[in-house]
Amino acid sequence: MLYQFLKLIVGLGIRLYYKRIVVKNIQFLDHEGPMIIIANHPNTLMDAWMVGHVCKQPIYYMAKGTFFNSPFKKWILKGLNMIPINRQTDIKVKGVNNADSFEECYSILEEGKTLVIFPEGNSHLERQLRQLKSGAARIALETEKRNNRDLNLKIVPMGIFYAQAEKFRSSVLINIGQGIRVTDHVDLFTENSGLAAKKLTEKFRLILERVLVTAENSDQEKMIEELFHFLREKEDAADIEKGAAFMQELKERVEEIQLLRPYLIADIQQLLQSIRWQSEKLQIQTDFVNRRFRSRLYLMQITLSILFLLIGLPLFLFGIAHNFLQYKSTDLLIPRLTKYVEYYAALGVLIGLILYPASYFGFVFLADHFLEISLWLKLLYFCSMPLSGIYAHTFAKYLKRTGHKWKYIFLIFNEKEALKDLQLKRKKLGSLLYG
């Protein structure tokens, strides 16, 4: 009961924090029997919540013991079906016994339930798939061994791709892969548990890589991110599926060049540096670089933008008045609570679930105190505040975007040669990559 309630509350927070959550191949989660979901781990607690948000059935998670360092945290996390584990790299938490935790995992799977494990072990906000720990493989093999390979246990890979993991109202893509069985490794596990777990972990890595957009190292990741921002088309900018597919395509192109024409990598890096420097100097958004300027179209867009701004201004001001203080307070609180960007989204959701409703109740109380409004008006007023807050955030981004359009028009007339040079460099970058 507590799990369903917390899942509902956290799910609401997730839907408000992220603008769009896209799930691919959800049919692979349909399975009669126990299941272990293995996933990448870029965004700490948010990853676990995201998996829970996608799965219809109750799921259980393995989580590091340091999360369970107070009675309140322990109560909340246990309510979310989280199982503590003391990792070698962390301070041991009193009351957390790894042997008991593993026994709980075996029992959960033997009951036909679903367990989530992040085999990377720790969380870093990057697109690299780090070395996998063998714990997931050991749990799977031990459970099948105990039950004479009759459990029908399935391992399902899940790739979590955040457009901007820490950013409010960004997007998420969850790509689910076809599951595998582990029974063919049980005999080896009986003879040599370490070798069997290692071999199965290698197999886990292969199936995870198929559902992820990964980079081999930080240098490659940086290059792919920059290529993505400089080369993607405007119409694909808001589509996370196309964005992930394009990033994967760029990775494949970069790896092909590194293998067959490694001498081009230095040219690509130099061109990226030049485009980055010139874009910053001109203060232009990268997706404006390759636009064709059509005066009539831009005049119409600017006119419509002004009309929209005038019409939407009252609702924007209403949303700002009821949400600005909470929004800024959250922005100020999070960096003071943690120095790790991987925790920003999870903390944003937790703080928001407390701060925003509390402030909305305060506004309703004040309105009723001074105006004595009816119950229906109270409900309407309460519901209007979060909706207008989301609208205000969208409106503010639209204002910023309109400002970039004005900047682009200014550059067309005042920095035409510099803009043309930037466009030629972008075209050359595409030729180097695809030529």
Tens of pLDDT along 371-408? Answer: 989 999 999 999 999 999 999 999 998 888 888 877 88
Q: Please tell me the predicted confidence (pLDDT) of residue 234.
A: 63
Query: Which structure tokens are listed for 121?
Result: 């072990």
Q: What percent of the chain has pLDDT over 70?
A: 96
* pLDDT higher at 413 or 23: 23
* pLDDT higher at 401 or 163: 163
Q: Please tell me the predicted confidence (pLDDT) of residue 160.
A: 97
State pLDDT tens for residues 410-434.
888 788 888 889 889 999 999 999 8
Query: Which structure tokens are listed for 180?
Result: 């595998």
Cβ atoms 151, 109 nearer than 8 A = yes
Query: Which structure tokens are listed for 41?
Result: 């781990």
Q: Please tell me the predicted confidence (pLDDT) of residue 157.
A: 98
* Residue 7 clears pLDDT 80, i.e. is over it: yes
* Residue 108 clears pLDDT 60, i.e. is over it: yes
Q: Does domain 2-209 have CATH number 1.10.10.10?
A: no
State pLDDT tens for residues 319-360.
999 999 999 999 999 999 999 999 999 999 999 999 999 999
Q: Which residue has the tokens 């064709």?
A: 292
Comparing C-alpha atoms, which of 34, 23, 38 is closest to residue 205?
38
Query: Which structure tokens are listed for 280?
Result: 């910053």
pLDDT band of 235, cuts 50, 70, 90: low
Q: Please tell me the predicted confidence (pLDDT) of residue 236.
A: 60
> For the residues 285-307, what does the mean pLDDT come to?
71
> For the residues 244-248, what does the mean pLDDT come to?
94
pLDDT band of 166, cuts 50, 70, 90: very high
> For the residues 30-56, what does the mean pLDDT come to?
95
Q: Where are the domains of the chain?
A: 2-209, 220-281, 295-424
State pLDDT tens for residues 248-292.
999 999 999 999 999 999 999 999 999 999 988 888 877 777 666
The Cα 317–Cα 342 span in angstroms is 32
Query: Which structure tokens are listed for 6?
Result: 């917390």
Strand partners, 180: 155
Q: Residue 155: in which H helix or E strand, if any?
A: strand 154-162
Q: Please tell me the predicted confidence (pLDDT) of residue 293.
A: 62
State pLDDT tens for residues 56-97.
999 999 888 888 888 888 888 888 898 998 877 777 878 788
* Residue 409 clears pLDDT 80, i.e. is over it: no
Comparing C-alpha atoms, which of 78, 81, 163, 158 is closest to residue 118?
158
Per DSSP, helices labelled H in 342-374 are: 344-371
The Cα 297–Cα 314 span in angstroms is 27
Other beta carbons less than 10 A from residue 349's beta carbon: 22
